[in-house]
Structure 1
Amino acid sequence: MRFIDEVYELYRGHFNGDEEDITAVVVGILAEQSRDDLLDLVEEMDEEELFHMLATYMIEVMKRKVAMEDEHFPTSIMH
């Protein structure tokens, strides 16, 4: 995706491989975008990019739901 390539080039020297750095940059950039801007980015995606974006999103949401459920209803260990 051209947008990601541009962001990467802009911040290339600032990333040290730490996921938190990457997350902070991405969240900061996305927070500045309007809904229409975000939809334009999606429109530029090819089918494979769109599939991977949705798959990644859905996987992360499911992980969070499972983790929240585990916090509320911890499984008991039987001896």
Structure 2
Amino acid sequence: MKFVDELYNFYKDQLMADEEDVDLLIYSIMQDLSREDMLRVMSELNDNELYQITGSYLAFKLKEKIVQDQDLGSLPNDKYLN
């Protein structure tokens, strides 16, 4: 994915393989993207990448519904999927 490649190249010397660092970076970047920017990024995805992203989102939301329906609390808050 071109967008991820660009992010990696720009931040590779500043990031560690720490999930929290990556989450903070992505959250910060997404706050600055407009809907049009996000649609542009999505339009650059190949079919496999689009299926992966859509599938991950749908699976997360279905799990969230199941947890809510069974009154088990909540899944870990994922700021990108809500």
Normalising TM by the smaller chain, what interval? 0.7 to 0.9
Q: Distance in 2 between matches of 1:56 and 1:20?
A: 19
TM-score (norm 1): 0.77
Q: Structure 2: which 5+ residue stretches go unaligned?
A: 75-82
Q: RCO higher in 1 or 2 (8 Å CA, sep ≥ 6)?
A: 1
Asked if residue 5 in structure 1 is aligned to residue 5 in structure 2, the reply is yes
Please give the per-residue CA displacement for 1:24-48, whole angstroms capped at 9, x wherever unaligned: 1011111111101111111111111
Q: Distance in 1 between matches of 2:15 and 2:67?
A: 29
The 1:65/1:13 distance shift into structure 2, 3 A limit, reads farther
Matched pairs, number: 72
Equivalent residues in 2 for 1:1-79, closer than 5 Å: 1-68=1-68, 69-71=71-73
Output the aligned Cα RMSD.
1.8
Q: Whose helix fraction is larger, Structure 1's or Structure 2's?
A: 1
Please give the per-residue CA displacement for 1:19-68, whole angstroms capped at 9, x wherever unaligned: 11101101111111110111111111111110001111122223333444
Larger radius of gyration: 1
The 1:47/1:31 distance shift into structure 2, 3 A limit, reads same
Runs of 4 or more above 4 Å deviation: none
